[in-house]
Structure 1
Amino acid sequence: MKTFAAALLSLSLTVALPGVASAASDTKPKATKTSAKTVAPTRKVRSVVLRKTAVAATPAVATFGQVAGLHEVDDPLSLKSSVAYVLDQNTNEVLFSKNPQAVLPIASITKLMTALVVVESGLPMDEKLTVTEEDRDTEKNTGSRLAFGTTLTRGDMLHLALMSSENRAAHALGRNYPGGLEAFVAAMNAKAISLGMADTHYVEPTGLSSRNQSSAADLAKLVNVTSQVPLLRDLSTSREARVALGKRLVQFRSTNGLLSNPLWDIGLQKTGFINEAGKCLVMQARMAGRQLIMVFLDSSGKASRIADAERIRKWLSSQGESATASTKL
């Protein structure tokens, strides 16, 4: 503040001096009356730069997993996710497990249940739905590319919710359920109970609320069911789509970069993130000759959930190679 005050004082003194133009002024000094051969002297004006005082960085919000000390649990692959779970979908054999019963916020992984309830409702996918003020995010105050008044089919809303994790699309899907949003959330929780997801609870359809919580073991059950729905497989693994928003064609892309990686054969996926949940990822993928379900929750770092998935892939590949070598011996 002292630096700012000194600079401001210097500026006011410069303006006050007679015959000196202000650096911030857009007006030119009037020319004096002289002969044509006389040139008015030009005064050099030193500009004054007011520097903003440095603002202290806002401390990062601790995730639920960090608060619970889940990141302190060691694992042989040194994963950045505090929770990890890999299951053979056909045999139910658990291949890798780290804090599988920890109940944490799941962010936009929520949208998998949202999508399952919408599909099982049998509501027409070509019905037009409109984004309204009711779909505004009042939880985190995030924005959206879907402006209020945007009208899309239920199928397009479902596509954007799964592929690009569009929150207003997911909320509009729940709001347009028979009985409204309250009935939709009740249907989400009823479906969770029917699937044996005892550690799971939902309060809204987007995942913006940290009160939407589940465990890795529960989410594996959800992935197992949703991966058997062809529409959800197709929409969740779509890399990009152009959607008509009024008179414009707007490009939407997937939030999961692994879909473009030729080393991965992904059948269904969903990403998620809010501060309380950290980075999250669930997938069903074919790997090392097996159909696998993978869950990563509360991963720290921008690309850490992807890096953790890669560590698991390489580890499983090495396990397969070791098994093959042992068989030959």
Structure 2
Amino acid sequence: MKQVLKAAVLLGALLGAGLSVPGHAATDVKKPQAVAKKDGSKDVAAAKLGSRKAVASTRKAPAKSAAAPAKAAPKSASRAAAPEKTASSQGVRKSMRKVSMADIEPSRLALYSASALVIDQETGQPLLEKQSDTVVPIASISKLMTAMVVLDAKLDLNEVIAIGDDDVDGLKGTRSRLPVGTTMTRETAMLLALMSSENRAANALGRHYPGGLPAFVKAMNQKAHALGMFSSRFEEPTGLSSNNVSTARDLARMVAAAARYPEIRNFSTTGEARVDLNGHIRDFHNTNALVRSDNWEIGVSKTGYISEAGRCLVMQARVADKPVVIVLLDSAGKMTRVGDANRIKRWMESASLTPERRPV
């Protein structure tokens, strides 16, 4: 009986040891599942997909199925990292690229001038165009042509000329600070015509031309033709007539030509001047406020306005370290031509910057 009892105890111990093995195996399986839940929903989904494949493969090769997911994980991780590295390297290359004018679309500029043109004087290429070939009245922009004709004739700038009744505006009825009988040198008349857009001074310049106004107007149109301004026509020296017409493209040629005259560059960009007129000292100011701005480097400037032409502005300037001609015609409001000029300047300056120099 003792031997039978010992055999029974030994058999029970062996059976107990065998049943404990599955219990440990189940515990080991639950632990990885708990970790997978902590790794996030994506990892859980991947784990489930992997477990399905593992179950399907365990029927044939249990050992290999357990090792396969472990080897696949590093490969998938390396593939995921590769696009990030490529994108990062592209970002570095992009940040080093110089921004060109084409990167900032000029049509996105909110310009309020009906016609606009910006010409790169170094290349002659237009940087911005808006109805640049439309023929429109140009108002006092005409005075740039008036000054060029006077200078081309090599008339004595120190000769004294007088304001007469024929210089009074009978067309628009505009006022002037130059009373009839006022005398001044031809140089002073040119200064006031270009800086303050004095119509009587401009008309007196034409009237004191050899052959009078008819000869002067003929010379204006001949000069325009010589400059290639084939869509332009001049009827008088001031621009008060709406029959003084041109296009933005033609005016760009005229401004570029005017920039070659030191007197025009000097007089048109003078901010203000005190002038002795028949013993009375009078202060005159430039009609373009931008010439007094430290933010602008302007070589030639002229404004213009009559109701038919709207507000006009032409300039030769250096913007973003580039010499340009800017033409703005028929602006909607009193200050919109200045606003358009500033918008063009900011556009050019932003296009000349590299991304590294832009504020973050």
- Give the TM-score of the pair, scaled to structure 1: 0.75
- SS at structure 2 position matched to 1:85: strand
Please list the CA deviations of residues 108-154 of structure 1 after superposition, one character each: whole Å capped at 9, or x if unmatched: 00000000000111000000000000101011011110000000000
Give the corresponding residue for 2:230: 198
- SS at structure 2 position matched to 1:184: helix
Give the corresponding residue for 1:122: 154
Give the corresponding residue for 1:309: 341
Higher helix share: 2
- SS at structure 2 position matched to 1:148: coil
The Cα of 1:75 is off from its aligned counterpart by: 3.5
Aligned residue runs from structure 1 range 17-32, under 5 A:
none
Is the aligned partner of 1:291 residue 2:308?
Answer: no
Distance 1:190 1:305 in 2: 29
Give the corresponding residue for 1:132: 164
Distance 1:165 1:206 in 2: 8
Please list the CA deviations of residues 74-115 of structure 1 after superposition, one character each: whole Å capped at 9, or x if unmatched: 942111101000001121011000000000000000000000
Give the corresponding residue for 2:218: 186
- SS at structure 2 position matched to 1:321: coil
1:262 paired residue among 277, 285, 294: 294
Give the corresponding residue for 1:99: 131
Distance 2:279 2:349 in 1: 48
Distance 1:287 1:254 in 2: 20
One-letter amino acid matched to 1:154: R
The Cα of 1:168 is off from its aligned counterpart by: 0.1
One-letter amino acid matched to 1:248: H
Aligned residue runs from structure 1 range 51-200, under 5 A:
75-200=107-232
- SS at structure 1 position matched to 2:353: helix
Identity %: 50
Superposition misfits of 4+ residues, deviation over 4 angstroms: none
Distance 2:278 2:264 in 1: 26
Structure 1: give runs of 5+ residues left out of the alignment.
1-73
- SS at structure 1 position matched to 2:173: coil
The Cα of 1:260 is off from its aligned counterpart by: 1.4
Give the corresponding residue for 1:227: 259
The Cα of 1:325 is off from its aligned counterpart by: 5.7
- SS at structure 2 position matched to 1:160: helix
Structure 2: give runs of 5+ residues left out of the alignment.
1-105
Please list the CA deviations of residues 2-22 of structure 1 after superposition, one character each: whole Å capped at 9, or x if unmatched: xxxxxxxxxxxxxxxxxxxxx
Taking only aligned residues, the RMSD between alpha carbons, in angstroms, comes to 1.3
One-letter amino acid matched to 2:127: L
- SS at structure 1 position matched to 2:238: coil
- SS at structure 2 position matched to 1:259: helix
Distance 1:75 1:290 in 2: 20
1:245 paired residue among 250, 267, 277: 277
Please list the CA deviations of residues 275-300 of structure 1 after superposition, one character each: whole Å capped at 9, or x if unmatched: 00000000000111110000000001
Distance 2:291 2:254 in 1: 20
Distance 1:190 1:251 in 2: 35
Give the corresponding residue for 1:66: none
Distance 1:247 1:130 in 2: 14
- SS at structure 2 position matched to 1:116: helix
